[in-house]
Amino acid sequence: MKYEISVNLEYAFQDAGETIQERIAAAAAAGFSKVEIFLTKGRDLPAIKRALDENGVELITTVADYQTQLVDPGTHHGFCATFRQAAEEALFLGCRNIVVTSGRGVPWLKRPVQHRNLADALVRLLPIAEELDVTILLESANTRYDHPGVLCSTTADSVDVAEMVGSPRVRLIYDLYQSVVEGEDPEVVLPRAIHLVDHVQVGDVPGRGEPGSGTLDWPAQLGLLKRLGYRGLIGLELMPTRSPTGDALAYIKQLCTEV
């Protein structure tokens, strides 16, 4: 089985230039036809669209927002408008997957209550997702190093919230780097989540560099995904430790053709 790759251009191909447009062209030249970015807000979307079209590249994911603390019901109405704008901008770029993160948790509410509040926020997004025909990708992020205080820090957190919502419009990203840094064993947590996972992202540990720069056994990790029946993309959300970026990504690119 061969895995297709998407490359996050916030981190990768920085050696090609400051703009996403330059990085799209560099990714295409290196043989990658699928990319990801974070926020669309405030960016030159017509220029990005031209770059995607001219280079035959597809945008796979964008992010709605990082700041909103969705555990607070008072944020839910405003976040609906934020999500709609992000989704409409993503659609302009040909992308139908919108990443949603939980924001920070709070110490004065029990965890099940916080999960319920987050699920309620996602339920309010469902009519927008249905109208625009987009998928909400809920993502956990580690609290131990990169995102102190975030509510959804474990794979089980996102599974719990997605199952509360119970809609095919709400699916999961499983980020291998985030999971391992949080202290999880993919062999344990991923089988319990795979039924909800639409997208997998990777980075090596420690450092979030390219596969081969750290300590993870990448043939074993890809083998796990294969055994669990995962057929989606492998998203490279990582910080290359050497340049050119295409050379840094050659190892994982080769592995994905050999699984």
Element (H, E) at 174: strand 170-175
Residue 133 phi, psi dihedral angles, 5° rounding: 60, 55
- Residue-wise pLDDT for 123-134, tens only, equals 999 999 999 999
Residue 258 has pLDDT above 90, yes or no: no
Percentage, residues of the chain above pLDDT 70: 100
Quote the tokens at residue 205.
Answer: 């540990």
Residues 6+ apart with CB under 8 A from 101: 63, 65, 66, 138, 139, 141, 150, 152
- Residue-wise pLDDT for 198-234, tens only, equals 999 999 999 999 999 999 999 999 999 999 999 999 9
Residue 259 has pLDDT above 80, yes or no: no
Question: Does this model's pTM top 0.85?
Answer: yes
Residue 1 has pLDDT above 80, yes or no: no
Q: Which domain holds residue 246?
A: 5-258
- Residue-wise pLDDT for 81-93, tens only, equals 999 999 999 999 9
For residue 35, which amino acid is it? V
Residue 198 phi, psi dihedral angles, 5° rounding: -105, -15
- The string of DSSP codes covering 119-169 is HHHHHHHHHHHHHHT-EEEEE---TTTTSTTBS--SHHHHHHHHHHH--TT
Burial of 188 (0-12, 13-18, 19+ CB in 10 A): exposed
Residue 114 has pLDDT above 90, yes or no: yes
What CATH number should be reported for the domain holding residue 80? Answer: 3.20.20.150
Residues 6+ apart with CB under 8 A from 47: 19, 21
Quote the tokens at residue 27.
Answer: 């990714």
Element (H, E) at 28: helix 20-29
User: What 3-state class would DSSP assign to 259?
Assistant: coil
Number of CB atoms found within 10 A of residue 78's CB: 11
Nearest to 134 by CA among 86, 204, 101, 203: 86
The number of folded domains in the chain is: 1
Rounded Cα gap, residues 143 and 17, in angstroms: 31
